[in-house]
Chains A and B, each alone.
Chain A
Amino acid sequence: MPPAGIWIDGLVQSCIYMTMAFGMVLVFSILGILNWTHGQFYMLGAFVVYYAVTAAGVPFPLSLLISGVIVGALGMVVEKLVIERLTGPGYGLLAVTAATMALIFFFEGAAGMAFGLMAKGMATTLPGVLDMGSFSISYQKIAVIIFTLVIMVAMYIVLNRTKVGKAIRATAQQPDAASLYGVNVGWVSLIVMGIGCSLAAMAGGIMGPVQSVDPFMGRIPMIMSLLAIVIGGLGSLTGAIVGGIILGLLNSVIAYKISYFSEVALFLLVIVILLIRPQGLFGAAPK
């Protein structure tokens, strides 16, 4: 058995992948596209938190909310300016996929020019460790886990108990019928994109103290959460959560056992799952 610290690291990673994957699935179920720029919203969120905490002296929890709002608004702008215009009739999936991939480079370049390429540390936020006898957990990692639980509960409430959530679920099931019943589908797309991006931004912000903040930090979480939603099943929220847990834990626990080739094992696992069940673990069977 790997030591407890490895499991906790795995859990922290799972939490981040889960939060990101949740946002991506939400966007996918409404807009029908994979938002490849998701990792860059994670990165931008981390930068907003970094500058809010270090330059403006805003308390950490408040700066998380600020980054969620700012980056969520940015996500809405992207939806309005780019995605909506490329998903009309006459466009296939290629155009919007290519556009969101190009935005990866756009945001990374913009962040590199604005904030510099140097990695920035904010380890002094939330210092200290919780001593558990045989092992210890830093408060930063506890914060990540609590944050994820809060987010998941909040998302559950929003999706199942509010009117907006009802509109989102109806649109995901059947957009035409939903719009017949008075749901503004364009507006729902905008809201969902905002929610997804602010989730990514807050995940980036909460991970800021654990790792360092740099313009390219979003690439690995993006790929991992993408893999998570694909093995979990595109469009399935449960799948996103389970996929995130599987990937996060495997990533650190396998790495403990077979260092270098753990990533190979991870990718092979993804390939095998996709070949056996192309619709993913929790996806609906193809019609």
Chain B
Amino acid sequence: MIIGRYYIDQKSVVPKIVIGAVIALLALVPLFTTSMVTLSTLISSGIWSIAVMGFILILRTGQFSMGQAAFMAIGGYVSAILTVRLGLPYWPSFLAAGVISGIIALGIGLIVLRAGGTSFSIITIAFGEIVRIVALNWDDVTRGASGILTKPPAPITIGNFEINFATNLVPFYYFMFFLVIASALFFWQIDRSRVGGTFRSVAANPVLAEHLGIHLMKYRVIAFTMAGVFTGFAGAYYVTFISVINPLIFDLWKSVQIMMMSIVGGPTLIVGGAIVGSTVLYSLGNYLTQLPVANVQYLVFGAVVVLVLLFLPKGTGLVDLWGKFWRKVFKEPEEYEIPGEFSQEDEE
């Protein structure tokens, strides 16, 4: 991981049984409470966490994408246009949203990832702004600033049991749960596989990686496309959940928010960091917007991120705080220091 010197072996930090217990507890949440506020906060946090996982996967290759919200917008618009304006059923349009978002990510990535580093970040900002402006002005397709009202998926009937998305939030919650678990498994497997290791080597030392026969562009584009597909899914599901899409929902500041969630959660852990970061920041933001003080959520968001960066060691985020607690209470640390020549700061 490029931001810190310390690489923590996550297998030793939190045992599987604790993770399993947390997952089971989350799966049972709708049994304890059907309160709108709790469920919708959890649903939105879950959806954002998928986008954050995509961001962290791109970060693994050393690139800093500032246009992830644009892929959510593309996914959202594709699903909204297919269901509302062309009258297709929801689930095929949901799949189409991810696929089209992935294809666009592939195309953009092939052109844009040639310029790495800061240029790449700037280009992704420009790309996000282009998507927003096109959505705002292409009235015939996107209905401009007024946006498109989306419909919930049609009820699914299994025997005499009906899953109705229109009447309550529990089906939304369970599909979000399924989506997050599926993406988490995917990203976790990718991250620990050989491909994930290659991503890290591309980030840690591009020159050395290239000399070892790793095609840099290929792996950057793979990461960018995978992130694009899942971010598209997240966008398509998010607009269905909040039942509207317009150009203001996914602007540049949402991309910044995705980045902030990954920092607060901790980008060393692709799944845990994303979920912790998005849940903490989204719930916090949701709580703060209910306060009578205008704009306080911006202030607190900024302050939280800066404080996490300043006071948690080497920017490892909240998951590492949990890991530290766990190691202190239950287990001795197994912490590896990355050898100096592999971290970027020591190149000079």
A56 on the B face (CB < 8 A): no
Q: Which of A103, A117, A274 has the most CB of B within 10 A?
A: A274
Report yes or no: A97 in contact with B64, Cβ–Cβ below 8 A. Answer: yes
B302 on the A face (CB < 8 A): yes
Cα–Cα distance between A215 and B298 once the two chains are bound (Å)? 11
Given known A-B contacts A89-B345, A109-B297, A98 and B259 have beta carbons under 8 A apart: yes
Report yes or no: B137 in contact with A261, Cβ–Cβ below 8 A. Answer: yes
Per-residue CB proximity of B46-69 to A under 8 Å, as 1/0? Answer: 000000000000010000100000
Q: Which residues of B contact A230 (CB under 8 A)?
A: 118-119, 122
B184 on the A face (CB < 8 A): no
B216 on the A face (CB < 8 A): no
What residue in chain A is nearest B344 (Cβ atoms)?
Answer: A92
The 8 Å CB contact of B299, one of A82, A106, A278, is A106
B126 on the A face (CB < 8 A): yes
The 8 Å CB contact of A112, one of B4, B114, B298, is B298
A257 on the B face (CB < 8 A): no
Per-residue CB proximity of B289-328 to A under 8 Å, as 1/0? Answer: 0000111111111111110011000110000000000000
A267 on the B face (CB < 8 A): yes
Q: Which residues of B contact A271 (CB under 8 A)?
A: 112, 123, 126-127
Q: Which residues of A contact B115 (CB under 8 A)?
A: 274-275, 278
A260 on the B face (CB < 8 A): yes
Query: How would you classify the secondary structure of chain B's contact residues: helix, strand, loop or mixed?
Result: helix
Per-residue CB proximity of A251-277 to B under 8 Å, as 1/0? Answer: 000000000110110011011001100
B8 on the A face (CB < 8 A): no
Cα–Cα distance between A117 and B305 once the two chains are bound (Å)? 23
A105 on the B face (CB < 8 A): yes
Report yes or no: A98 in contact with B309, Cβ–Cβ below 8 A. Answer: yes
Report yes or no: A101 in contact with B260, Cβ–Cβ below 8 A. Answer: yes
Per-residue CB proximity of A41-74 to B under 8 Å, as 1/0? Answer: 0000000000000000000000000000000000
What's the minimum C-beta distance from A133 to chain B, rounded to whole angstroms? 36
Report yes or no: A103 in contact with B306, Cβ–Cβ below 8 A. Answer: yes
Given known A-B contacts A227-B122, A261-B133, A95 and B256 have beta carbons under 8 A apart: no
Interface residues of A in 63-117 (CB under 8 A from B): 82, 85-86, 89-95, 97-99, 101-110, 112-113, 116-117
Q: Which residues of A contact B344 (CB under 8 A)?
A: 92-93
Per-residue CB proximity of B216-257 to A under 8 Å, as 1/0? Answer: 000000000000000000000000000000000000100010
A234 on the B face (CB < 8 A): yes
The 8 Å CB contact of B309, one of A95, A106, A108, A116, is A95
Report yes or no: A107 in contact with B302, Cβ–Cβ below 8 A. Answer: yes
Report yes or no: B298 in contact with A108, Cβ–Cβ below 8 A. Answer: yes
Interface residues of B in 55-109 (CB under 8 A from A): 59, 64
Q: Which residues of A contact B267 (CB under 8 A)?
A: 94
A226 on the B face (CB < 8 A): yes
What's the minimum C-beta distance from A84 to chain B, rounded to whole angstroms? 11
B27 on the A face (CB < 8 A): no
Q: Which residues of A contact B137 (CB under 8 A)?
A: 260-261
B125 on the A face (CB < 8 A): yes
Report yes or no: B130 in contact with A264, Cβ–Cβ below 8 A. Answer: yes
B271 on the A face (CB < 8 A): no
What's the minimum C-beta distance from A45 to chain B, rounded to whole angstroms? 19
Cα–Cα distance between A85 and B303 once the two chains are bound (Å)? 15
Report yes or no: A103 in contact with B302, Cβ–Cβ below 8 A. Answer: yes
Cα–Cα distance between A260 and B263 once the two chains are bound (Å)? 35
Q: Which residues of A contact B22 (CB under 8 A)?
A: none
B-side interface residues toward A, CB under 8 Å? Answer: 2-5, 59, 64, 111-112, 114-115, 118-119, 122-123, 125-127, 129-130, 133-134, 137, 252, 256, 259-260, 263, 267, 293-306, 309-310, 314-315, 343-346
In the complex, 6 of the A-B residue pairs with CB atoms within 8 angstroms, ordered by the A residue number, are: A86-B309, A86-B315, A103-B302, A106-B299, A109-B300, A223-B252
Listed from nearest, the 7 A-B pairs whose CB atoms lie closest are A106-B302, A109-B299, A109-B298, A112-B295, A102-B305, A105-B302, A267-B126
